Amino acid sequence: MPYSVGIQAAGAALLSAGFPAMFTTAIVVLLVIVSVISSLHKDAADAPARLPIYSLFSIVPFFRRRFDFLNWGFQVTGQSAFQFDLLRNNVIVVSGESARETFFSAKGLDLTEGFKILSGAIPMVRGVTSDLQTKRIATIHKRLASVQRNERLSMLIRPMLEDSRRAMETWGNSGSFDPFDNVYELTVRSLSCSEISDDPCVVARLKKLYDTLDVGTTPATVLLPWLPTPAMLKKLWATKEIYDIVVAAIAAREQSGVSRDDTLQMLLDSGDEKLVVVGFIMGLLIAGARATGTTACWMLTFLGGHPEWRDKARAEVEGLVASQYPAAASSSDSLSSQLAGISLETWEAETPVLDSIIRETLRIAQPHTAMRRNLGAEIHIEGKLIPSGAYVMYPFSDVHLNPDIYPDPWKFDPTRERETKTAYSYVGWGGGKTTCLGQRLARVELKLVTALFLLGFQHRVVDSSGKVASGPPLPNWNDILLCRPPQGSFKLAYERSKTTL
């Protein structure tokens, strides 16, 4: 009877340890059972190769070092597609031109469901940012299109520049900063309202709350969202605070009775229900402002490490000011006002240097992995079975860092010619039926922020000791949101070149 006695002793010890220990032990046992069960099922003959590890061992690297993990998967299987399990979720990763074509065009592959399970970085409020009715999703897409119409987008140019000017004025005449801390929050105006963007404290608070969501996105919070871990509790509280900030801004606008030229006013004037208004601002502040802010950080970083491109971009903007606003040379208007005098059409059609810099920045510093779930019938990609209900992923690195398509792929080179012979050779704004709906707005905002900074400051990349670096830092594709290098490894040193921004 030694075994039964041992079991009884272990049981007694567990009971005496209290609920936390019992709960943790139960979760560990559950995970082990799920892992064992998932490793026992048989795959179909045409199924993708399976990673040679238990599902439990794939969870941490998938979330913490995704770029390395996916590359390892292709290497260890020797195939263009492989599969693994995240608990009970079957995940299939595909690569190659043919796979890319099918991935971005197949009707049954749903973006929303794929992103919700495999990402978890969006604040989830039922009926507001998750579990949305089809009608509400269509309304949000319609409103995003409205924000980018010529008249409304033209109206946003001056306030967006003013927001950037106000933030840059606080930097002083010289110094250094981490762009991911200082540039990131310059992109809030276009998708929110003056009640938020006019208050630097609120903008800074929102950034911290979204950072909390990012840090709190752990394997447990994504795969076991019902588990009350400390990270999940922090995410819930951050989501509540974001929700409260947005709702308070809407209430303040309604109570004031003052109409303003911003996105919130457009939503209210359209008579949209409150959940649509709140969901639009909450969801797009993270999906739009964070993505645009990250790209802006990398644009200034690359330009600081490549002075020849910094000078080309500055010369292009100076040419716009001189040609589109002739009085600028002798005008006492601020730099931001001069830039605001340039038409939307000019910003969009006459900035080929900025366009090439944006394109190359998105290629080399956008660590995305496209995520879908097959909600339709089973399909085949590259001859490999994608069952109904399975999750499918396509890493952007498969094309953007492919040396056959982009020689010396880690090199920042805006002169690269567009590849036209390869299907979906560039997916910086998505591809197929799932392209970025806000890309017009994002392009304009990136140009405005970059133009004001380049004309207002001289800057360069410096290392951790403050010495001028030989080039920009290498993007870290394992950082699945920002591609951010190790904190403290570099900064942007600057000197004010214009007295009046």
pLDDT tens column, 443-498: 999 999 999 999 999 999 999 999 999 999 999 999 988 899 998 999 999 999 87
* DSSP for residue 90: E
Residue 390 included in any domain: yes
Angstrom CA distances, 19 to 25, 26, 191, stand at 10, 10, 45
Q: Could you read off the pLDDT of 127-168 as tens digits, one per residue?
A: 444 555 566 667 777 777 887 889 888 988 998 898 889 889
The predicted model scores a pTM of: 0.85
| Residue 253 pLDDT > 50 | yes
pLDDT for the residue 425? 94
Using alpha carbons, select from 362, 388, 212 the residue that is nearest to residue 292. Answer: 362
How many whole angstroms separate alpha carbon 72 and alpha carbon 59?
Answer: 14
Tell me if 486 sits within 8 A of 476, measured CB to CB: yes
| Residue 251 pLDDT > 60 | yes
Domain membership of residue 303 as a residue range? 134-496
Annotated binding site: 436
Residue 48 included in any domain: no
Annotated binding site for heme: 436
pLDDT for the residue 85? 92
| Residue 221 pLDDT > 50 | yes
Residue 3 included in any domain: no
Residue 65 included in any domain: no
Residue 275 included in any domain: yes
Query: Which SS3 state, helix, strand or coil, does residue 7 take?
Result: helix
How many whole angstroms separate alpha carbon 364 and alpha carbon 417?
Answer: 15
Tokens of 138: 């269509």
What CATH code is carried by the domain that includes residue 475? 1.10.630.10
Using alpha carbons, select from 378, 452, 360, 439 the residue that is nearest to residue 168. Answer: 452
Residue 446 included in any domain: yes
Cβ-Cβ contacts under 8 Å for 420 (sequence gap 6 or more): none
How many other CB atoms are there within 10 angstroms of residue 333's CB atom?
14
Domain count for the chain, please give it: 1
Q: Which of the two residues, 92 and 122, has the higher pLDDT score?
A: 92
Residue 15 included in any domain: no
Residue 109 included in any domain: no
